[in-house]
Structure 1
Amino acid sequence: MLRENPESAAVRIYGTNISATAPALMACDVAEVEPYRVNDHVYAEFALDFCRRHGIDVLIPPRRLDALAGRAEEFARAGTRLMCAPPAAVNVLTSKSRTYEAARAAGIPVPEWRVVRDADQLRTAVEELGRPGESLCIKPAGEYSAFGFRIFDDGPLRLRDLLEAPRPLVSVTAVADALKRAADEEEKVPSFIVMPYLEGPEVSVDTLSAPGGRLLAAVPRAKDGRYRLLLDDPEATGIARAVVEHFGLAYLANVQLRRLRGASVLLEANPRPSAGVYQTAFSGLNLPWAAVRLLVHGDPGELPPPRLGGRIAVTETAAEVHPAVTAPAAHGS
């Protein structure tokens, strides 16, 4: 979408990844390996050095936002504009529990939840949140993507369970035992969230906003098997607008919703572009390019009303992967 921009501007793309053979690097003109498992200061210094060495005009970080947010002036001195949400928003939105607390205080609909770190807290949360006919789930409270997500199911294994697609099921007892064992072995235990399992298709809203949180465009989409639906969903857009405005999000962000007892609630909000933002191209908008224009010129360019209500197919392709690396980055600690 950056290369096929509406202004036919020449774009040269530089990318980094912790793996030299990451398929995404095939889309880059220049690629490098970035440091893995380093602290925020080391990662920020790596990013600044990369931008200086390559004369980067715009940096769009999809991760490690906590290391980069608030450093816009440092990058500006290196000649690079940093596309990133404000540090306060990044600090809240990279924690699911802080996100829910702040959203609830702002009147944004969120599910009930409890934060747990040990077996006793887990059992109490399950007792308090459990409702007949509804399932509960558990997931890390921090920014772990879908890693660690499990649905509680204490029922016996049935034959049909063995014949269907596997689901991430776990018993309450098994999780409680794991938490107790970690505590007994003095292992560091992160915070987890226990909440209702939200059924139904997830609605993911890709947003473009001006600094300060003024929403400029929003494209809701949902999955339907191999298809993606571009939704005309005023309720989802309204919640996304409230999130963007309340947290003061800028440029590209993503708001994820699911339904609980018939109403849409916030699942999570990401102050960065989503992995599926490319699907919004079929709405007639080029959100990534509009965000770059907004960052560089203060103007996103023409933003026609998005074409919503359509369905697109997601297909797979295969390509041989070769390391696309100039030189390994130095690993710090």
Structure 2
Amino acid sequence: MKLGLALGYWGSQPPTNHIQLAQEAERLGYDSVWTAEAYGSDALSPLAWIGANTSTIRLGTGVIQLSARTPTATAMAAMTMDHLSNGRMIIGLGVSGPQVVEGWYGGPFAKPLARTREYIDIMRQVIAREEPVANQGEHYPLPYQGEGSWGLGKPLKSILHPLRKEIPIFMGAEGPKNVALAAEIADGWLPLYYSPFRQEVYAPSLSNAKADFEITQGVVVNITDDVEAGLQPVKHMLALYVGGMGAKDRNFHKELVSRMGFEAEAQKVQDLFMAGKKDEAAQAIPDALADEISLVGPIDKIKDRLQAWDETPVTSLTVSARSSAQLQTLAELVLDR
């Protein structure tokens, strides 16, 4: 089991210790460090800064949003970062959701699977640099010949030669079809929630994954003797995603939790959250769900839980440590077994 550091996206102000955390993670043997974006800070700029101040740790976007950039722009960034970091780049992609795509980026959310397939195919063409890039699909036609076109576009090949002709592409995916697409066309998968005790939720979608397919799962870690109190941040996070991250009739996170066996509870959480009862919504999150997707409790319990994770196809756990001491403890728990 490998270990990664999840730094996420910025809040209202830039963090002050991400470089130091990444450097310490690298020193301790962490495999990767990940940045993210929502509708504030972007994922690539901080990752470049981190890459300039580290030398071996892999650099991942977990995730960047398809609608934020054209596929050629993302491929350009990937190749540039791969050169600057001496081959450490991982591009993690996600379709986001209709609220962000249509409300923030001003584009349609239609056909996310088809868009993702086209997007990754174009990226791979750009990075391989074997021939001029072209795409006949409806979402990212290259060259563009639609409304407003001057009719002068032609297929182009990147001026920059790639350091690696294949830069790893991971997909953030939740739905069964999207996870199956990740197993088919991507090099890795970034799940949102994964329980080592409910592997059947994803098993059919992963049945055709390649032998070297990577699964990088983020987990909240809280070493404490008070498990109930330690699970509270996890339950509040779940309440936000299940209750508020999406529309009432279409919330991908709620649908996932329902598939995990908590359909009635997920509905109750959404009803409470949308009624403004956010604390009650958090308390309605089942303890079993919060506990299974996290590492919360005394050291011995966490060690036992890590054995359960070892029996899954997950290849790396990413943790949101925020101090050198936490990084050290987690390295001892995960890497020094």
TM-score scaled by length of structure 1: 0.33
| Bigger relative contact order (CA 8 A; separation at least 6) | 1
> Which of the two has greater strand per residue?
1
TM-score scaled by length of structure 2: 0.33
- For the pair shown, the structure with the greater C-alpha radius of gyration is 1
